[in-house]
Amino acid sequence: MNGDRQKVVFFSLMFLISLFIGGCAEFKDISIDEIFQSPRGQKSGLDEKTVGAGLKDALRVGTERAVYRTSKTDGFLANKLIHIALPEEFDSVAAALRTIGLGNQVDSLEMAMNRAAERASGEAKAVFWDAVTRMTLYDVYGILNGGETAATDYFRAKTSDSLRNRIHPIVVGKMGEVGLYKLYNQIITTYNALPLVSEPAINLEDYVTEKTLDGLFIIIAQEEQQIRKNPAARTTKLLQEVFGR
């Protein structure tokens, strides 16, 4: 690899890292020459392996931040962007129950769906990390030259299937933990006892799984857009070594 190509590659890596790291310290704009030169004009000694490790560490920090936001209590429930509402197929059930004074049960069902999503989303971290370790130089260039959510689009394309397969059984388990099935059965039993009604055709497990995935990617995109506009860094020891001023 000639010198010009090395500079292009490392510039791409540096730009990508700036997209995903969230934190509290100001991220200083660093040129390629500054990265590989010490304050005295001497070579810093950083090699491709160290820089690559810094990239992976940065992406790990960024994705963990998004997962943390969604998996904590009220991560879904209190966030209007990703709050899971009852499916449209359930509208007639909800309206009927509210009419007879059982609105609290309807609200409790919606809360249980969001709680299940919050508990299940924590499983996403390992899947995102797998995607990071499999990134190629072509992927890096694609993210560098893409739009405001290019990195998010990369993760969506690379991880959606594996993330769905991993999260679906977790969602099923968490739905049981939060009492969603019991509550749903109580609601449907009451609803079916009303005259001239029919049970809605809805698979809650698939619905909550898809909404959990959507919420994760929405938050990652939000983080990416914010970081593109206002780069910041939460440095680990490795990042300090790679990006020392």
Q: Is 2 left (phi over 0), alpha (psi -120 to 50) or beta?
A: beta
- Name the token pair of 105: 């049960």
The pLDDT of residue 197 is 83
Q: What is the pLDDT along the chain (245 residues), one digit of tens a residue?
A: 555 555 545 554 454 555 454 443 333 333 333 333 334 344 445 555 655 565 566 567 667 888 999 999 999 999 999 999 999 999 999 999 999 999 999 999 999 999 999 999 988 888 888 877 777 766 766 665 667 787 788 888 888 888 899 889 999 999 999 999 999 999 999 999 998 888 888 899 999 999 999 999 898 887 767 665 654 534 356 545 544 44
The H or E element containing residue 233 is: strand 232-233
Query: Are the beta carbons of 115 and 179 closer than 8 angstroms?
Result: no
**Cβ–Cβ contacts within 10 Å for residue 177, how many?**
12
* Among 122, 119, 89, CA closest to 204: 89
State the pTM of this model. 0.71
